[in-house]
Amino acid sequence: MSMDENANEKILSELQKLYPDARPALEYKSPYELLVAVILSAQCTDERVNKVTEVLFREHNTPQTMLALSQEELEKYIYSCGFYHNKAAHILSASRDIVEKFGGEVPSAHEDLKKLAGVGQKTANVVYAVAFGGDAIAVDTHVFRVSNRLGLAHANTPEKTELQLKEAIPKSDWSKAHHWLIYHGRRVCHSQKPDCVNCTLKDMCEFYGKTAPKDK
């Protein structure tokens, strides 16, 4: 085992110890509800999305019932999530594809999820991993920040970060590591003012090694 592999293993072991019950914060009851929630979660908190979908899903929790809404009507439901115009268009486009191309059911294959209009790599990865138990690691802002700070990745884009994480993390842990990194980003490794002093990963962290005060 190389030094990098040994370091990665220690980091992942500590993350698993810290967040053994890490799970998605988005609330959903079906793959379709998860798909819609993930689309809404772009640059929006999961808490806000859950408040919106609690109301939206009462009458519009299938692609068929979602398509009964006009874009303007859907926008009124999701306005508080931000970027509501684009998100409404993506939800309706994906819903139309699900009905017309996949018999009304969200496809379980990763390549088919990516064929849905308005569904990108991150959304496909989340739905594939969470709804269908597939091996995928979605890179959101928390995963991108924390993995690059820790040294699990050294990349300047989410796409490159995903590729490097797939090399650094065993395939069977991809989905779990996604949630571990999110939890750590929310609770400790904040974008602004990360709580490095109280972080149990600081001795393994490249970011802390570069930014920690040096003894004189």
Instruction: Give catalytic residues, as residue numbers.
Output: 122, 140
The pLDDT tens digits of the residues spanning 71-100 come to 999 999 999 999 999 999 999 999 999 999
Do 145 and 90 share a structural domain? Answer: no
The pLDDT tens digits of the residues spanning 40-76 come to 999 999 999 999 999 999 999 999 999 999 999 999 9
CATH of the domain at 52: 1.10.340.30
Give the residue numbers spanning the domain of 14: 3-22+138-211
Angle at 112 between CA 106 and CA 113, to 5 degrees: 55
Do 117 and 155 share a structural domain? Answer: no
- Which residues are CB-neighbours of 143 under 8 A, at least 6 positions away? 137, 161, 165, 178, 181, 182, 185
Residue 216 lies in a domain: no
Residue 35 lies in a domain: yes
Residue 198 lies in a domain: yes
User: CA neighbours within 13 Å on the CB side: how many for 102?
Assistant: 21
**Which residue, of 114, 132, 150, is where some domain finishes?**
132
Do 118 and 74 share a structural domain? Answer: yes
Q: For the whole prediction, is pTM greater than 0.85?
A: yes
CATH of the domain at 183: 1.10.1670.10
Q: Is 30 exposed, middle or buried (0-12, 13-18, 19+ CB in 10 A)?
A: middle
Average pLDDT, the chain: 95
